Amino acid sequence: MKAIVQDRYGSHETLRLAEVDRPTPANGEVLVRVCAASVNAADWHIMRGDPRLARLAMPVAFGWSGPKKKIRGRDFAGVVEAVGPGVTRFRPGDEVFGDLGFSDGAFAEYVCAGEDLVAAKPAGLTFEQAAAIPLAGNTALTGVRDVAEAKPGQRFLVNGASGGVGTFAVQLAKSFGAEVTAVCSARNADLVRSIGADHVIDYAVDDFTANGRRYDVVLDLVANRSLADLRRALTPDGTLVLSGGGVSDGGSLVGPMGLTIAGGLISRFVRHRVRQLNVAPSAANLETLAGLAESGTVVPVIDRTYPLPEAPEAIRYLELDHARAKVVVTVEHAA
């Protein structure tokens, strides 16, 4: 089968389309014929081995000179081709979507996934739309519902609102009844308004940490401000949720991990709730997101699509060109 593979850390130019063996489902796994996969910040972080501290802190994904897994990609949507022993929830022909976690391997014609990482594809959505949901949607759902505990009337700010996680977070916070303020660039203002943002702050002309407004929740998805700045935007009993993926700046030692480490250190000494957003793949959360997508409460927003051979360019675009919402890779199969 064809797949996007990588042997050593580096830019998107280290990725190549290659022929590899088609995987065989093990106990509890399904083999999925991939129709679409989406790109996440995690893909370029692992591609580059950045930040370097992650090579020590997250050995499940990072080797010292190259990624632990050869094939890139986490999110996928497709059709079950075969099932391994012990699988009870799916059978060949089922349309599914899922998040492989740090196992990676979605930028390929076929992928094996544990059935606990997979859910039925939302009815009415294309494979491209379904593939856009798993990691970003699960991150937003966990942050908004579980960590921030969004509720009616809450003043909720999303920093990085036009990104992959941000577009889901805006919609989810709004669905819980919060008053949502989106921080993004001017070119994305209409986008975030169209998905439910009540207020929009253009970060180029208005500093949300210094304009005197206070929020019950600040969900930071950028990691470009200090803890002191972010806390200044909170009400006295407010909650700061840290999930910044950082931005590409040619390589870093600590990157966005520095902010989350500092947040963990001060969390027990300050009145504010400072929480790091840790997210694990979850079939239950995928099912929740599928229901929200089927009802129209959450709509995946796709910026661009690329065919599988151009997946390296898709990652480059997400990493360096300030892509908005989701970037999706489509996979064609010979008849």
Provide the pLDDT for residue 86. Answer: 96
DSSP assignment of 61-72, as one string?
Answer: TB-SSSBSSSB-
Looking at the structure, do residues 14 and 119 belong to the same domain, yes or no? yes
Provide the pLDDT for residue 185. Answer: 95
166 within some domain: yes
Looking at the structure, do residues 26 and 140 belong to the same domain, yes or no? no
Looking at the structure, do residues 186 and 160 belong to the same domain, yes or no? yes
Strand partners, 3: 18, 108
Provide the pLDDT for residue 54. Answer: 74
Provide the pLDDT for residue 255. Answer: 59
Looking at the structure, do residues 168 and 58 belong to the same domain, yes or no? no
Looking at the structure, do residues 206 and 260 belong to the same domain, yes or no? yes
113 within some domain: yes
Contact between 131 and 302 under an 8 Å Cβ cutoff? The reply is: no
Nearest to 161 by CA among 151, 171, 152: 171
Looking at the structure, do residues 85 and 192 belong to the same domain, yes or no? no
Looking at the structure, do residues 118 and 15 belong to the same domain, yes or no? yes
Looking at the structure, do residues 121 and 156 belong to the same domain, yes or no? no
- For residue 310, the enclosing domain spans 2-133+300-330
Residues 220, 224, 228: CA angle, nearest 5 degrees = 75
Looking at the structure, do residues 271 and 148 belong to the same domain, yes or no? yes
Which segments in the chain show pLDDT lower than 70?
Answer: 244-259, 261-265, 267, 269, 335
In the numeric block, the tokens 């064609």 are attached to 332
Looking at the structure, do residues 128 and 160 belong to the same domain, yes or no? no
Contact between 210 and 192 under an 8 Å Cβ cutoff? The reply is: no
Q: What's the CATH number where 84 sits? A: 3.90.180.10
What pTM value is reported for the model? 0.94
Q: Cβ of 250: how many Cβ atoms within 10 Å?
A: 7
How many domains, the chain? Answer: 2
Provide the pLDDT for residue 265. Answer: 62
Residues 59, 62, 63: CA angle, nearest 5 degrees = 90
* Runs of H (alpha helix) within 29-133: 41-48, 54-57, 127-131
Provide the pLDDT for residue 72. Answer: 95
305 within some domain: yes
Looking at the structure, do residues 260 and 156 belong to the same domain, yes or no? yes
